[in-house]
A and B are shown apart, each in its own frame.
Chain A
Amino acid sequence: MSKMNLTLKIWRQASANAPGAMETYPLADVSEHMSFLEMLDVLNEKLIKEGKEPVEFDYDCREGICGTCGLVINGVAHGPRKLTATCQLHMREFKNGDTITIEPWRANAFPVIKDLVVDRTAFDRIVAKGGYVSVNTGSARDANETPIGKEDADKAFDAATCISCGACVAACPNASASLFVSAKVSQYTYLPQGHPERERRVLKMVSQMDDEGFGNCSNHGECEAVCPKGISIQNIAIMRREYVKAALKTGSAIV
C-alpha cells in the first residue's frame, strides 16, 4: 500500500463576515485508498491533537447521492475525476508530493458559513417556488396509472438525477445557477404530472433564481463538465424554451 506525503492549501474563514485566507498544512502517510473526505478527517484529527481548530467541511451520506459535500479541489469543483462527487473521490487520483488546493464553492448567493461550508439555502428557496407538483398525498398510486413514453421518461429521469450539490454554480465563471434550475424545471416538463403548473413553475423559479443573485448563463458549459451526475446543458435550453413559452403566454415574466 503506497503512502503519500501531501501539502494541503485550504481556505480558512472563521465566519461569514470574517476575512478568509489560504493556509498550508503538510499531511504525511496518506493512504491511496482513503476517500478525499477521509483524508480531511485524518487532517482534522491531527489538528485537534495539536490543539488547533479543525477544518469545517460539509458531508452527509458519503455515497455520492445526497449532494451535501462539495469542495473545489485544485481549481475544479468536486476535483479531478469526472462524474464524481467529492466524497467519492479517492486519494489514488493524487501523487506523492502533490500540493492540493481546497476551496469552498464561491458565489455571492452561497455565502461561506465557515471554512469550506457554504449556505446553499438559495437552492431551497428556488425549489420552494415551483420544484414540485401540487398533488394531495395519500396512499401510493399505481406505478403504471399514467403511461409515459420511454424517451420522455428518460429525459425527465436524467434531469431528476440532480443532487442539488451546487457544483454547477461553483464552476460557472458567472456563478450562474442555470444548470440546477433547469434540471428542476425540465424534470417536470416531460411528465404529464408537471403540466398543470408548467408556466407558473418556470416563471417563478427563474424569478427566484435572479433574486438570489446568481449570474446569467454565458453558455461556457463548465457546469456540465463538473456535474457529478453529468446533467446536460440541454436542460438549460429546455428551461429557456419553457420560459419564453410561459412568458409569452402570460404576457409577463411575473406571475
Chain B
Amino acid sequence: MQQAEKETAKPGPLASVLSIFNTTIGQKIITGLTGLGLVGFLVGHLAGNLTLFAGSEAFNSYAHKLESLGFILYAVELGLLAVFVFHIVFAISVTSHNKSARKSKYVDSRSAGKPSRKSISSQTMIYTGIILGLFTIIHVWMFKFGPGMAAGYHTDLHGLPARDLYRLVVEKFKNPWIMGSYSAVMLLLGVHVRHGFWSAFQSLGAYHPRYTPLIYTLGILIAVLFAIGFLALPVYIFFAPLTA
C-alpha cells in the first residue's frame, strides 16, 4: 500500500524542481528576486539617464556606447525581459490568489498600527505594478523603438554618425502631456518600491531585528530617489530653455 502510494505520487525531476516555485513561499521568492533585479536595473538606468543633464553629447555618446555593445546588449535585454515577465506573472498569480482568500469581506477593517507595515503602498502593489508594466511598454516603444537615424534623428559623435536620441527625448518631453504623465508614473514607481524593497528581503527570508529597520528605511530612501531622479529629467527638459 505504501509502495503503491510512493510510485503514483512521484513526479518527474523537472516537475519536482518546479514544484518548489509553485507554493506560496516559492512564488514570493520569485517576485522578491525579480523585484530586486528590477531595482538593480533601475539604479543603472537612472545613472545613465542623468547624463542628459550634461548635454546632448554626453547623453548621445552614453546611448551610443550601449548600442555598440551589440550581442552583449541583446543578452542583457533578453534577461531583463525575462525578469520583467517573471515578476509580472508571479505577482499577478500571487495577488489573484490573495484576493480570493477572503470571500466574505469585513464591514469594518482598520490597521492595528505599529509594528504593522501595512500602508497605501503595500496595498496597491498590483495597481502601481500594472501601471508600471503598461508604462514600460509605451516607454520602450517611444524611445528604444522610436524614430532612429533613418528618420532624421542623426548626429555626429567625434566624426562618427550616431542616433540623436537626445533630440528625440527633448522633443517628447516638451509635450506637456507626455511630461506630466511620465512624472506621475514615476511617483507611482516610488510608491511601488517603498513597500517593494524591504518586502523583497523579507520574502527571501532576510529578516533581522537590527538590519530590517535599516533595510526598511533604505527602501523609503531608494523610493524617493527613484521618484525624484526619474522625474527630474522630464520636468527639467520641459521647463529649461533647451532646443533639440
Contact = CB atoms under 8 A, between A and B. Distances in A.
Interface in A191-247: 206-207, 209-210, 213-222, 224-226, 232-234, 236-241, 243-244, 247
A216 B116 contact: no
Contacts of A244: 20, 25, 29, 205
Contact of B98 (A109, A209, A215): A215
24 contacts: A22-B107, A72-B109, A75-B108, A76-B111, A82-B112, A106-B105, A108-B100, A108-B103, A174-B101, A206-B25, A210-B24, A216-B28, A218-B94, A219-B117, A220-B116, A222-B116, A224-B116, A225-B112, A226-B112, A237-B202, A237-B206, A238-B207, A247-B20, A252-B17
Contacts of A240: 25, 28-29, 203-205
A243 B8 CA distance: 24
A215 B97 contact: yes
Nearest to B10: A254
Interface string A106-142: 1111001000000000000000000000000000000
Contacts, number: 158
* Interface core residue of B28, B112, B125, B204 (most chain A CB under 10 Å): B112
Q: How large is the interface on B (under 10, 10 to 19, 20 to 34, 35 or more residues)?
A: 35 or more
B107 A101 contact: yes
B226 to A, nearest CB: 19
Contacts of A238: 205, 207
A218 B112 contact: no
Contacts of A254: 9, 11, 16, 19
Most buried by A among B27, B28, B205, B209: B205
A103 B106 contact: yes
Interface string B79-119: 00000000000000010011111111111111111111110
A241 B123 CA distance: 25
A221 B203 CA distance: 12
Q: Select the residue from B9, B109, B115, B116 with max chain A CB neighbours within 10 A.
A: B109
B26 A247 contact: yes
Given A11-B107, A106-B106, A217-B28, A173 B205 contact: no
Contacts of A236: 202, 207
Nearest to B113: A225
Contact of B110 (A76, A107, A112, A207): A76
A106 B26 CA distance: 25
Interface of B: 9, 11, 13, 16-17, 19-20, 22-29, 94, 97-118, 122-123, 125, 195, 198-199, 202-209, 212
Given A221-B117, A225-B112, A243-B25, 8 more contacts: A106-B102, A174-B98, A210-B23, A215-B98, A216-B28, A222-B111, A233-B202, A252-B20
Nearest to B117: A221
